Amino acid sequence: MPLVKTWQLIAGSAVAGLALSVAAVTAAGPWDSGQRKAERDRAASWSRTGGTDHDGGPGSGALPEAAPSAPGVLGAIGPGAPREQSAPAEPASAGGLAAALKPLLADPALGTVRTASVVDTATGQVLYESGARDAMTPASTVKIATAAAVLAALGPEHRIRTTVTPGAAPGQIVLVGGGDPSLTAKKKSPAGSGGSLVALAADTAQALKAAGTDTVTLGYDDSLYTGPARHPIGANPNIAPVTALTADEGRPDDSASGPVDRSDDPSEDAARAFRTLLAERGIKVTGEPAKAKAAAGVQPLAVTLSTPVAGLVERMLTNSDNDIAEALARQTALASGRPASFEGAEKAVTDRLTTLGIDTAGSRFADGSGLNRADKVSAGLLTGLLSKAADPQRPELRPVLTGLPVAGFTGTLKARNSGSSPAAGLLRAKTGTLSGVNSLSGTVVDSSGRLLAFAFLTANTPGPEGAEKALDKLAAAVATAS
C-alpha cells in the first residue's frame, strides 16, 4: 500500500481515539486553572459565604458545602438568577461613591485626561461616570475586549489544533500550525497545560513506525495567519512575531511571562524543535525543515490540542500576556470568516462586541494586546463588557471575570492593593500600562455585597508609579464607599 494511504488509515484511527478522549475530558469539565476551577465548583456553592468543601469524593453524590475561608467575589451572579432578584436589598449610594471618587480623580499623578465608569453589574445602574463615552488609549485593558470577543466567537471549551499531516512530496510530513499560543516544546511547560510538541512527536513517531517508516523530510505550514507577523511596534521583548506556529511564545528561556528577547522566526524554531523530538524517538529527519503545504484532503497523523479558550483567556488576563492576546484576536477573525491578520482581527472583534450589544462607536481594536496606541475604547465600553460577563444569561463570558488578577494575590495585581488594603482579595482587575498611559478596569465587591464593574482610563501621566498608586486608591474607594 502506498505510504501516504497507510498513514491515512493509521491517522484515522488515531483521530477517532482522540475524539473519544476529548469527549471524556469535556464531560469531566475541561477547566482546571486555579481561579476558574474554584468558581466552576458550583460557583463557590452559589452562596455569599464563598468557596467549596472538596472532601466529597467522586461518586459521593454530595454537593459541595460552603467554605467560609473563601469569600465569594462573584456572589451576586448565581445560575439563572434574574438580575432584580440577585441584588442586595439596599442600593449602593451613587452620591457616596461620587464624593469618594471626585477628589481622587483630581490627583495630578493621573495625568491631564482621566475618565471613569462604575456600574452595578446586577442592575446595570450607572453609579458614577466621568467622560465615560470618551475614546481613550486603553493599553492592556483592551484585553478585556479581546477576551469577550473570542469567548463569544468560539465558546470557552474550544481547543486549537496543531497537527502533523502527510506532505505533498513522497516521504514528507508537515507540521501544521493552528495558532495555539499554549504550544510548548518542553516536557513540562512553565506556563502550564497546553498543546505539546513532545506528545505530538511521540504520536507521530508511533504512526510512522506502524507504517514501516523511520526516515522522513519535515515541512512546516504556518500559512493560517496572513499579513505582517511583526506587531506595529516592531521587534520588542513584550511580544514575539505573531505566527500560527509558535512554541513557548518564542521565548529562549524558561520564563512564562514578562519581557524577554524573542525568536525572530518562531515557526522555523518550532519546526527545528519538532525535528529534534522526532529524532529522539527514532525518526530520522533528512535535511532542514522547510515551509511546505500538507497534502489536500488527508487525515492528520497526529494532533495536539491547546488549553481550552477559557484557560487561555484566564492566562492572558492574569499575566497580561500579549502573545496569547494576539493569537486569540486572530482566532476570533478565523471564526468570523475574516483574514487572520491584525486588520482582520480588528474587524472581527468589533463585529463580535457589537453582536453582544456593546456600543463600539468611536472604538478601535487595532490589536488584541493593547500595545498599539491606535487602540481606542471608552471606560463605559469596558464596564459594559464586564457587566455582560457577569450576566447569568452569558455564562460563556464568565472567564472574563475569573481571569482577572486578584489584588494582593495574583498576576499583575499581586503587589497592588495588597496587605491591609480594604480591596485586597476583593478587587479583580486588568491593568494597562504604556508610556504616559495607565488604566485599570475590573470588578469589586462593595460594602453591601454588590459586584461592581469599574474602569479608569488616563492619558499623559507623568510616571507609572504615581499613576498606579492613584488608580489603586480609586479602586479601593469603589470597594469601600457606601
**pLDDT, tens digit only, all 482 positions of the chain:** 344 433 443 344 333 333 323 332 233 233 333 344 444 443 333 333 333 333 333 333 343 333 333 344 454 444 443 344 344 434 456 788 999 999 999 999 999 999 999 999 999 999 999 999 999 999 999 999 999 999 999 999 999 999 999 998 899 999 999 999 999 999 987 767 889 999 999 999 999 999 999 999 999 999 999 999 999 999 999 999 999 999 999 999 999 888 999 999 999 999 999 999 999 999 999 999 999 988 888 899 999 999 999 999 999 999 999 999 999 999 999 999 999 999 999 999 999 999 999 999 999 999 999 999 999 999 999 999 999 999 999 999 999 999 999 999 999 999 999 999 999 999 999 999 999 999 999 999 888 888 999 999 999 999 999 999 999 999 999 999 85
Distance CA 40, CA 311 (A): 12
Distance CA 281, CA 201 (A): 8
Q: Residue 282: its pLDDT value, please?
A: 98
Distance CA 180, CA 164 (A): 14
Hey, is 130 helix, strand or coil? strand
For the annotated catalytic residues, the residue numbers are 140, 143, 320
Residues 6+ apart with CB under 8 A from 442: 386, 404, 427, 428, 429, 430, 453, 454, 475
Distance CA 154, CA 308 (A): 10
**C-alpha 80: how far from chain center:** 25
243 phi and psi angles, rounded to 5 deg: -125, 165
CB 427 within 8 A of CB 475: yes
Beta strands 161-166 and 302-305, pairing class: antiparallel
Q: Residue 61: its pLDDT value, please?
A: 39
Distance CA 173, CA 96 (A): 66
What is the number of other CB atoms lying within 10 angstroms of the CB of residue 228?
A: 12
Instruction: Find, among 288, 171, 279, the residue nearest to 220 by Cα.
Output: 288
3-state helix/strand/coil string of 224-285: CCCCCCCCCCCCECCECCCCCCCCHHHCCCCCCCCCCCCCCCHHHHHHHHHHHHHHHCCCEE
Place of cell 488608580: 471
DSSP assignment string, 269-285: HHHHHHHHHHHHTT-EE
Instruction: Find, among 109, 134, 140, the residue nearest to 460 by Cα.
Output: 109
Hey, is 161 helix, strand or coil? strand
Plot region of 411 (φ>0 → left; ψ -120 to 50 → alpha; else → beta): left
Residues 6+ apart with CB under 8 A from 328: 146, 147, 149, 150, 181, 309, 312, 313, 316, 368
Q: Residue 295: its pLDDT value, please?
A: 82
Q: Which long-range contacts (CB under 8 A, 24 or more apart) does 263-270 make?
A: 264/235, 265/241, 266/240, 266/241, 267/177, 267/220, 267/222, 267/243, 267/291, 268/220, 270/175, 270/177, 270/183, 270/185, 270/197, 270/220, 270/245, 270/246
